[in-house]
Structures are given as structure tokens and as C-alpha cells.
Copies of this chain bind each other. A is one copy, B any other.
Amino acid sequence: MPPRKGRTALTRAELDSWRAFIETTEELRTAIEGRLQSDSGISAGDYRVLLELSEAPERRMRSSHLADAIGWERSRLSHHLGRMEKRGLIAREAAKGDNRGAEAVLTDEGRDALRRSSVPHFHAIRELFLDALTPEQLAAARDLAETLSGHLAGKRGATAP
């Protein structure tokens, strides 16, 4: 029988492809995050939280629901909400049905910060990402994302159920 996948050492081409891919996506991420920070004074984490809250009913969400929605650990979210609260971007209130719980609420200031950031952020996405790619490449990027995302989801379920 042929060797199974995952059994053989990496070829030079495989290693090169991996390094190019991971280093470039990392570079892209920091470039976009840097633009967001310098254009609008908010971090990528801030943006992610603001966006999710802005789309929630009444602009509020249970902490654990928010953490699930953006794929963060609860501890990370708790620290981040603390920092955002200190800056007035969100507020924290006790949850209605469960006295253990907390809800994060988007403040007017947070909503304004999100609005102000959107146009420059979209501009950066276009300039640094979309403008670089042909339609075929963009489709390939999406295909890659969906394939890898599905693969990772399977691994997560398989190794830590």
C-alpha cells in the first residue's frame, strides 16, 4: 500500500510553501492591524468586539456568547472588555436571567468609533489585499480559507472533544 498522508518527511517545496504562506499572512495581518491602529486608534481586537456587538439585538451580548461568536477564550475576552470599558467603548451590566453572568453593551462612543473606523479599514483591505489579487486568486483565497477552516474544525473536535 502507498504511504499514508502525514507519514513522510516534508519536501523542500512543501516547507517553502508553508513558510511563504504563514509569513506572508502574518505580514498582511500586522499591516492591516497597524493601519487600523494608526487610522482610527483601535486595535483589531477592539474592532472585532465592536463589530459583533453592533450587529447584536439591542447592541448587547452575554460575555460567553460573544466569546463563542468571535472564537476567543473567555479570559482573553474578559481582559479585553476591561480595557475597552476603561476607554468607554463598551459597558458591562449584570445579565438578566443569571446573576453570574455579564453582558457587554456597545456604548454610543463605541458605535461612533466603529463607524469612524470602517471606511479607512475597508480602504486598507482593498489596498493591501483585494487590489493585489486577480478574481481567480481571490476565489482561491476563499477556497483555501474554507478548506483549512473545515480541516481545523475537524482536528479540534477530534483531539479535544
User: Which residues does A use to contact B, with CB under 8 Å?
Assistant: 5-6, 9-10, 14-18, 20-29, 31-32, 71, 122-123, 125-133, 137-152, 155
**In the complex, which of the residues B5, B9, B138, B143 contacts A122, with contact meaning CB atoms closer than 8 Å?**
B9
| Complex-state Cα separation, A9 to B11, whole angstroms | 42
Q: In the complex the two chains form, is B71's CB within 8 Å of A130's CB?
A: no
Residue of B nearest to A26 (CB): B29
Q: In whole angstroms, what is the CA distance A26 to B32 when docked?
A: 13
Complexed CA–CA distance, A64 and B9 (Å): 33
Given contacts A26-B29, A152-B27, contact A17 B131 (CB under 8 A): no
A9 to B121, CA, bound (A): 11
Q: How far is the CA of A23 from the CA of B51 in the complex (A)?
A: 14
Q: In the complex, which residue of chain B has the Cβ closest to the Cβ of A16? A: B142
Closest approach, in angstroms, between the C-beta of A29 and any C-beta of chain B?
Answer: 6
Contact B126 A24 (CB under 8 A): no
Q: A148 is contacted by which of B10, B132, B148 (Cβ under 8 Å)?
A: B132
Instruction: Name the residue of chain B whose CB is nearest to the CB of A139.
Output: B17
Known A-B contacts A24-B149, A25-B29, A29-B26; A17 and B141 likewise in contact (beta carbons under 8 Å): yes
Choose one: B20, B31, B143, B150; the contact of A137 (CB below 8 Å).
B143
Is the beta-carbon distance between B145 and A17 smaller than 8 angstroms?
A: yes
Please give, as numbers and ranges, the residues of chain B lying within 8 Å of A152 by CB-CB distance: 24, 27-28, 31, 128, 132
How many angstroms from the CA of A29 to the CA of B17 in the assembled complex? Answer: 15
When C-beta atoms are compared, the residue in chain B nearest to A134 turns out to be B147
